[in-house]
Structure 1
Amino acid sequence: MWINMISKLMKFKNYRLRTKLIVTYVLLTVIPISLLGYIAYSQYTKSIEEQVGEYIPKLLEQANENIANQIRELRKFPDLLYNSDEVVEVLRKDAHQSRSSLLQDEFTVNSYLSRTFINGGSQDILGVFVISKNRIFQSTKIPHTNFGLMDYSQSYGQDIQLKTDDIFVLPHQTSLRFEGNPPFVLIMKQLTDLENRTDLGTVLIAVNVTFFEDVINEMSEEGKADLWMMNKEGRVIYHTNPSKIRTIDREFAMYPQINGSFRTTQEDASRLISLNHMDETGWTLAHSVLAGNLTEQTDLVRNATIAVFLVFVAMSTVISILLAWNVSSPLNRLTSVMKRVEKGDFDVDLAIGTTDEVGMLANNFNSMVTEIKDLIRENYQIELKQKEAELYALQSQINPHFMYNTLETIAMSVEDDEKDTVIEMVTLLGRMLRFSIGNKEALVPIADELLHVKDYLTIQKIRFEEKFDFSIQEKIESQNYYTPKFVLQPIVENAVKHGLAYGRVTTIEIGVCLVPGNEGSEEIAFKVKDNGSGIKKETLADIQRTLASDPMAKRDSHFGLSNVHARIAMNFGSGFGLDIISGVDQGTEVEIRIPVLKNGSEGGCHELKEN
């Protein structure tokens, strides 16, 4: 488990900052509030249960007291028999008398019972029974069945001897039943002759226990709670659910107390049970309610609170996302700009617009990029000057060698008395020297560059005669377009050198034209092609790697080609420069691409051809 937690923490460490901020903010707001809400709800629910657990037993105690008062009043009813001398006289008589006398006595007692108990007594009295010397006198409010002395384990013809002043007989202890099966108890009391202290018999008063309802209805909470009265064996005397009357509460013996409240589980439901024991009768009044009903109102508040909490969570999440976006967005922009700088694009400007830590970081980054650009520009200028110095050094190296060969050819022509040739060569050589030394501009008209190359090739043509030939083709108005100085001569010199080394007639073809460039623009392309021995595949790959490398780097080989390529790339970008196509015995073609550089005219371009 710990390994999984550590693994998840390690993964979380690698999450995006925005995700971390959102998760952290939500956890720091949702979890504490959820925990506090849960604790508050639990404590409030517990407090309600404790208060109900203390309050209900007090109500039960009061209800028991009211029931006891009712029973005390009912216990007084048997004494009403002493108010009638006729009834007492009948009860004193012996049972062995004539049939007519027995009927007369029965009428006398039954009439008194009806007047006093049924019609003039409590409305809860269902019936009155008097057992005296093998005689039964009775009067009931509703029809009944199965009443007799055998119910009390006595032989018919004998009086019932009670050990106490009165006792209660529950419905399950007698076969007596009233029409409609109302719940009742029998109050039994011994009748004693007050004059001679002899037993007159026993009176049994059947009392409908629905008088409990008047006492405990207020506690039933509209059917949400169960209330019942049971004796010491757990036999239910009265229950708000009539079907449970006369049943036994099987859990009564396991109840931890008979005065107070406790929580238990019945039928997979948590219930709060409150009890109060009545010492006078030995009965226990019980109250049972589902724990969920106690917190029903609280649950409504809880549900409303949960709804508000969910809205709060949604709002917190939105706020956390906005805050995370506000923090991470500048950082993401900074990261994006850093990646551009990493790829070599220093033309960036990171505008955050804040003065916090991220804004300070962005300002410092902008300062760093500006300083780097200045350093690159300074280094670039240094390297460019170095390349210019190398160019002049190259010119110094090329010009004396070429001049030596040209002067030697002129000398030979003088010896052969070829005045026209001498004049032409001297003229061409002088013009070349003026172009090389006299013009210090970095950009020259393409026409001047082509004329300089043409002068060079014409001198070579005079030197090698039939072994050498060349052609120049212009497809633009070369006088209106400009090019860096000396981009053609080093390439042409290489072509002449390698062409003549092949040992056959060397032909040099030079062309200049406009070609399509990037993004729909046009570019100027110089093409120099020879029919020499060509370049080996390995050598060509080495040259191309040299050209593709840093244009500022020093070169130990292919100096002329790389010098021209570096100058173009440094001035116009890496999209311009040299491209070489060659194969063994297939000659070599060098293409030079530069951007369109025009003079101030707006006259457009026209194709020209010149051989």
Structure 2
Amino acid sequence: MIFRRWRGLKFRNYPLVYKLIVTYILLTVVPMSLLVYVSYTQYARSVEEQIGEYMPKFLYQANADIEKHIQELTTLPEILFNSENILSILRRTSYEKRSDLNKDQYNMNSYLARTYTNGRNADVLGVFVVSNDRVFYSSKAGFKEPNWTQTIGEYAVPNRDPSGKSSILLPADVKLHFDTDTPYVFIRKPINDDDNRKSLGTMLIAVDLSFIDDIVRNFETNERADLWVMDPAGRIVYHTDRSLIGTVDREKNLYPVLNGSFRKSVEGEPAKLVSVNQETKIGWVLVHSIPLHDLTQRADLIRNVTIFVFIAIVIAASAIAVVISYNMTRPLKKLSGLMKTVEMGDLQVDLKVQSGDEVGTLARSFNSMIATIRELIHKNYQIEIRQKEAELYALQSQINPHFMYNTLETIGMAVEEGETEQVVDMVTLLGRMLRFSVSNQSKSVTIAEEVQHVRDYLTIQKFRFEERVHFEIVQVMTDKDLQSFFTPKFILQPIVENAIKYGLETRKALDIHIAVSEEFGAKSGKRDIVLRIRDNGPGIEPERLSELEQSLKKITFEGRDAHFGLNNVNSRIVMMHGTDYGLQLHSIVGKGTEVIIRIPKTRGEELPNADD
């Protein structure tokens, strides 16, 4: 009993409306939901990976700039040796008069102000020279400690350092504090008198680290991002948050890398992407930290909007699907009954359905089919003509997939190269080409439309191959004639496709020249329209050219060989206008190929079965 009940609940036994709704959900809602989720996660991951890959490179450059600037500042003490008066002051060890000491003090302080702190070196906060128990100085800011001169003397180099190397003292290493919040460090360098082989003293330069702001501002403008510089022990020398300068980054020893990026997650805080670079000479560590959700902020906005729009579309589409499904069942039942009547041989039936949906189309197709059957019974169609029309339709219908493949391939390549503006232009051109392809079901279009179509196609190829493709379209005829006379649809594009395909295989640059003119036809004895497509490609071997000319003489199309486009275009022209028209080939190996398309001057009212 249970088995029978389960078998009665099979999906195939459900009403058609339920089948359509369930199928819609399975084939549309579920895949689209997965697509949105996968696209968002992949995008967020790629953004994180890209920032994690490139940010250490930026930090490396910033660290190098900081090191270079610090190294430049370490050379400032050398300026003292340019002045003999200053050297004589530094070499003096004692004074007989207090006034002499005051004079040297004044001269030395004035020299330090002129040379170091009065605008020439914007990053010098102060300069101090300790020599023979004397302290000379010039500073843009004062110290908080009243006895700072005594304290500053404690950081002089006690003995002569033969190497003369400079060292960096952090604010935490010096028991002095400027009365400003500007981040700074001291550069300490011994002053050695190489002529007398003795030490003249020590120079301490207070460096304003605000120059780091200008360096890091070049690659980081996000206010939520943090950037700081610390010494190997984790003491913060510089921080975008000034309140943290002087503190210690206790998590430094836990960093998995000192040159690279990693994800940092702390409970109760948003996850962050941390990038680190350690300078090799000074040993300073430059760290950049930014919340991950800031990196994907735009993606989050797009995701939320997409979800909202997606839900609205699903609800609206589901409601429409329910209404349509119920409306479909009634005419389908009626159609089923009429088909049984026709099966019995009664062709005098008519399915009256006024809707414009698929059911209405099916009803009209059914009525058209019955009318066609009745007409075929009463008329004797010539088999050759019907065969010709069917073959002509088949030839034209095979052009579209060939064209679509090449065009979409071109757009795909542009997307991969990240050329966003060009992609927009190409999609616009493709939209116009698609409208040309599907909006007009006639076999013929105006010459102006056909020329515009091939111009759009060549423009897309120009986007793809850039300087490798050049084209020129010359219209000898007037615009009025181009709008008045008609041509079989899709006769230029296949020729141009072949020219690009074979020309770019052997040429660095391909030139395509298209000319539209009016000429006298020897075969037709009339003024015909001639379209010439000339390229500077590799040309065609004489044997192959002979084979192609023989192939063009066949009206029917047999298979898709390498020159499908040539055969297709020629066969359609011959079928529509006779053997006086079609294609001619002229080619010279190594020089190029010229394809001549000759068609009659045909106006819209003269087209045979134009709307078929």
TM-score by length of 1: 0.50
Q: Find the structure with the greater CA-based Rg.
A: 1
